[in-house]
Amino acid sequence: MAVKFNVLYSEEKDILAYLNALWKSPWVNYGKSHYEIGKKYLPIGLLDSLKNASSKNEAVKIIKDYWKNIRSSSFTNNSELLSKWFSIFLNTEGSEKIIKPLENVYQKKFPFKQINVYLTSFFSCPYNYEENWFMVGRNSSLLWLLSTSIHELNHFMFYYYYDQNLEKQGFSESQREHLKEALAILTSDNSKENQDKPQVLPIQNFIKENKDKSIDKIIELIIKNKLLDNIK
């Protein structure tokens, strides 16, 4: 049965992407903060304002005021059109170009019947495995849409088939998250994958050297070579 992709724009989800990455003290993830990365994409004034906002309501107002200055009156209508186009594309091409490669890499069935996809104006694409959704750049090309989708759903496959077992073996959440990010290289043609995540690169490079092996064997070798031991 084909997987159904439901694509839509939600202002609430879009705001959440900004808040989770930039509000209060921007957290460091995989060796580099979203604040540092964000300097390439957003005004420094916006970054500083969000970092120093004293409440969620204040942070939301900062985001909405920023949007007012950069968004045209056609933003909502365009978002609806993009949602329809992306939905048609993913539901037409997704089985062959997203689901099949994931199943080939993991040698396991893709376990979800429906996936929700939200458009975001943020520079990175959050996801929520428990709620079964991920985000894609609102201005993505179709190739970037495919790349983002397979990257995020690679994470979903990891969570479904490996995360709980690794937790039972005593691996911390941080160790499992670094492994999850590194494994995404197995379905990526992007040589710059994880360049903004320096702590992931050594694991990713090891995976690239062993990509002819099964994913079970790759994880076994990563553990045997203690590549997760220095991750806190």
Rounded percentage of the chain residues whose pLDDT exceeds 70 = 93
Q: Are strands 32-33 and 28-29 parallel, antiparallel or unpaired?
A: antiparallel
> Residue 230: what pLDDT?
86
Angle between helices 173-183 and 142-158 (to 10 degrees): 140
pLDDT at 2: 86
| pLDDT, tens digit, 9 for 90 and up, residues 186-203 | 998 765 555 567 788 999
98, 106 Cβ separation under 8 angstroms: no
Q: How far apart are CA 26 and CA 53, in angstroms?
A: 12
So what's the pLDDT on residue 28? 52
Q: Where are the domains of the chain?
A: 158-224
Residue 36: pLDDT band with limits 50, 70, 90: confident
pLDDT for 145 beyond 80: yes
Is the pLDDT confidence value at 27 over 60? no
Helix (H, G, I), strand (E, B) or coil at 225: coil
Kindly give the residue spans of alpha helices, DSSP state H, lying in 8-140: 11-22, 34-38, 44-52, 56-70, 75-94, 100-106
